[in-house]
Amino acid sequence: MEKCPACGALVSPGQSVCRRCRTDLSVLLNIETQAQMHGKKALEAFEKQAFEEMFYHAKRSAALINTPESGRLLAGAAVLAGKYETALNISIINNFK
């Protein structure tokens, strides 16, 4: 997270409390960590060609933090897992070009 969601102050990596408004950021940091872990596991599953596993982890990553990167990973995993309608819906929702 780059900015505090409460006040918009810049946040240093690993900072668990906002320096300006004192908001506890630890829950959000935990969510970010989990999302990154699932993204990494999705890529590891891709390397093993375990596309259903990749889709599961990509879906968890995108559910925790919906970023353009997690959306692209999820759409790619959906295609590889044969979930074409899901991939198309993700692409339309995220307006991929």
Q: What is the pTM of this model?
A: 0.83
CA atoms within 13 A on the CB side of 62: 21
pLDDT of 96 > 70? The answer is no
pLDDT band at 13 (very low <50, low <70, confident <90, very high): confident
pLDDT band at 93 (very low <50, low <70, confident <90, very high): confident
Distance CA 22, CA 44 (A): 37
Residue with more model confidence, 42 or 1: 42
Domain ranges in the chain are: 33-94
pLDDT tens by residue, 26-82: 999 999 999 999 999 999 999 999 999 999 999 999 999 999 999 999 999 999 999
What pLDDT, on a 0 to 100 scale, did the predictor assign at position 26?
94
| DSSP per position, the chain | --B-TTT--B--TT--B-TTT--B-HHHHHHHHHHHHHHHHHHHHHHTT-HHHHHHHHHHHHHHS--HHHHHHHHHHHHHTT-HHHHHHHHHHHT--
What pLDDT, on a 0 to 100 scale, did the predictor assign at position 92?
84
Residue with more model confidence, 42 or 97: 42
Rounded to whole angstroms, the maximal C-alpha distance in the chain is 47
